[in-house]
Amino acid sequence: MTSMSRARVARRIAAGAAYGGGGIGLAGAAAVGVVLAELRMAKRQVGHGSGSRVPVADGRYGHTYDSPGEPPLRLTVLGDSTAAGQGVHRAGQTPGALLASGLAAVAERPVELHNVALPGATSDDLDRQVALVLADASRVPDICVIMIGANDVTHHLPATRSVRHLSGAVRRLRTAGAEVVVGTCPDLGTIEPVQQPLRWLARRASRQLAAAQTIGTVQQGGRTVSLGDLLGPEFAANPRELFGPDNYHPSAEGYATAAMAVLPTLCAALGLWPAEEDRPEISRREGFLPVARAAAEAAAEPGTEVTAAVPTGPRGPWALLKRRRRRRVREPEPAPAGQSPASDRRSDQASA
């Protein structure tokens, strides 16, 4: 599918989400049904070698930057098992911990991490997760990261419904005062047990949803980063290293690769980058585009950021497409005694 045709499909899905439309097919109902069967067979392997527990990484990161009178930045993670960090054994290997540690280093300020992501969640669970996040009005996060979408494809959740729930979550968080960065639907075509031509269909469905998620998020004032094949051609070239033991969730190296691409957008959203970093670089093929076209291009290129720009134009709202330089992130050191995050949490629900 070309970028232009993907943009048209994404516009239709986003419009249906905004105006209450029904389920617009992602890649054809019959084809998707076969893909779902393949993906569900693949998911039966989930848990073989990774256990049923997800490490809990909640807590404070960047203790060396503690300063009297300066509160820590608050980072909250929402979404499914990718957001939770299923597939790794240590809390410091989860994407939340990696992002909190990296953000603390850039801001030179402690970061308080809270993760409400639920393995097995689809986008319609975001309503519940946002309610948890905003339950205490005195502790609204400075920034939220949402990673969601894979289960929407495998469970055949209508794309319009999926985007409607995501857009509503972004709107509520932004209204409360939090910045929001969405990691869009990952590329399910990289899952090893799924064979061709179904792998191609899974990739097509994933990219269509990712593009529509971008439109919905940007329209509500959030930013997106394309997770694609979990952020780099090295993923497809080296799946044994970047997938976890279950061949479905990322490995520690896979999560680190994803966090390395998402971190610069977190920093930009919080104003931690120099202003010139937000200017488009022609040499990196960055620039201002109609939001649907920017969304389609981002869906095809992992690690690409899209954020709102010119409010309107001859072809509707415009967005800034950025290909930010990735920032290497390292697994955080264990917290001081008495302040370490809990070791793990039970996940008895269906894995994402």
Residues identified as active-site? 81, 246, 249
Measured CA to CA, the distance from residue 103 to residue 267 in angstroms comes to 7
Specify whether the CB–CB gap between 46 and 58 falls below 8 A: no
* H or E, element range at 161: helix 159-176
Measured CA to CA, the distance from residue 126 to residue 105 in angstroms comes to 29
Does residue 233 have a cis peptide bond before it, meaning omega lies within 30 degrees of 0?
A: no
Residue found under tokens 């072809």: 315
- For residue 193, count CB atoms less than 10 angstroms from its CB and return exposed for 0-12, middle for 13-18, buried for 19 or more: middle
Neighbours of 247 (CB within 10 A): 18
- Structure tokens, 294: 């920017």
| Closest to 249 measured CA to CA, from 49, 72, 6, 65 | 49
* H or E, element range at 217: helix 198-219
Specify whether the CB–CB gap between 166 and 182 falls below 8 A: yes
Specify whether the CB–CB gap between 225 and 212 falls below 8 A: no
Measured CA to CA, the distance from residue 167 to residue 220 in angstroms comes to 6
DSSP H stretches of helix in 19-158:
29-43, 81-84, 95-107, 126-133, 150-154
